Amino acid sequence: MIKNKTDADNLKYQYHGLLCNLRNTQIAIKQDSYSGVFLSQAHPDYWCCSKKIMIVGRETAGWLGEKWPGGKISLSTIINANDEEMMNIIEQSLIRYQKFLKATKPGKSKFKQFYYKVAEILKVKPTSLIYANFFAWDFKGRNIKTYRQGRNKEISTLINYSTQLLKIQIIKYKPDFIIFATGCDGIDDLIKTQLTEGNYSNLEEYYVARQLWAFVASFEDFNVTCFRIPHPRKASKIIKNRVIELIKEYNNNSPK
């Protein structure tokens, strides 16, 4: 668990090792319209919750973009970074993440509105949740799998590293629940084959085609109850409320 500076530093070094491996692949980039890398770090409030919840979006558009005070960061920045510069990239991403957590209002973002709604209904602080992303980069502000022509190899590499980064976060934070607010297209197969490596079991009684997939995933020495729903921009109010109510039910019926 990341409860002190040493644990936080260990997470940074895990990020560092993986991003240095990405750099060393010498990936050929056809067009660098990628965002900076998205990374998370749990707020101290997270560890105070009896049940820990992670909400995973698809990608965050413009992470560490042109307006970022620390300077625009893109995929090329990572590919060309030395070890010290790589740690600075990680620090910049975590500073940006803390800025997200410090926001007091969700604004117009449907994802942020859902994130705050989960916190409100479950009666926890927004900082008590983990915000993560399935894809650690976006491309032109969209899913990295868009504009595919000539980019299949780099897309495959970035998906691989994105799932590895997400798995690092899951193993460090050990959430009791994960809401994948990502939509199903291009995500469900990645959850099954790469993120969980087939170590999951379906909760068939909750399944709603293309809307709600519930399952229990195994990571190392712990299990996580997971729910995959459409992106909050497309999810119905019924589905969004349903997944929150399911977490409440599980929380009320399990040991504290």
Tracing tokens 């915000």 back to the chain, one arrives at 131
pLDDT at 199 over 60: yes
Whole-angstrom CA distances from 49 to 52, 146, 158, 210, 256 are 6, 37, 33, 31, 10
Fold for 5-253, please state it.
Answer: Uracil-DNA Glycosylase, subunit E (3.40.470)
Confidence class for position 87, pLDDT limits 50, 70, 90: very high
The answer to whether 48 and 172 have CB atoms below 8 angstroms apart is no
| pLDDT of amino acid 161 | 98
Segment 207-228, tens digit of pLDDT: 999 999 999 999 999 999 999 9
One-letter identity of residue 218: S
How far is it, in rounded angstroms, from Cα 95 to Cα 11? 14
Percent pLDDT > 90 in the chain is 79
pTM above 0.85?
yes
Domain segments of the chain: what residues? Answer: 5-253
Segment 12-23, tens digit of pLDDT: 999 999 999 999
The answer to whether 11 and 2 have CB atoms below 8 angstroms apart is yes
How far is it, in rounded angstroms, from Cα 138 to Cα 116? 23
| pLDDT of amino acid 4 | 54
Segment 133-180, tens digit of pLDDT: 999 999 999 989 888 788 889 999 999 999 999 999 999 999 999 999
User: Residue 65, Cα to own-chain centre: how many angstroms?
Assistant: 18
pLDDT at 73 over 90: yes
Tracing tokens 């993440």 back to the chain, one arrives at 97
Q: How many CB atoms lie within 10 A of CB 236?
A: 12
How far is it, in rounded angstroms, from Cα 21 to Cα 151? 20
For 57, counting Cβ atoms within 10 Å of its Cβ (0-12 exposed, 13-18 middle, 19+ buried), the class is buried
Confidence class for position 254, pLDDT limits 50, 70, 90: low
Q: Which of 2-6, 89-93, 240-244, 245-249 has the lowest mean pLDDT?
A: 2-6
How far is it, in rounded angstroms, from Cα 210 to Cα 159? 22
For all residues of the chain together, what is the average pLDDT?
A: 92
How far is it, in rounded angstroms, from Cα 107 to Cα 23? 35
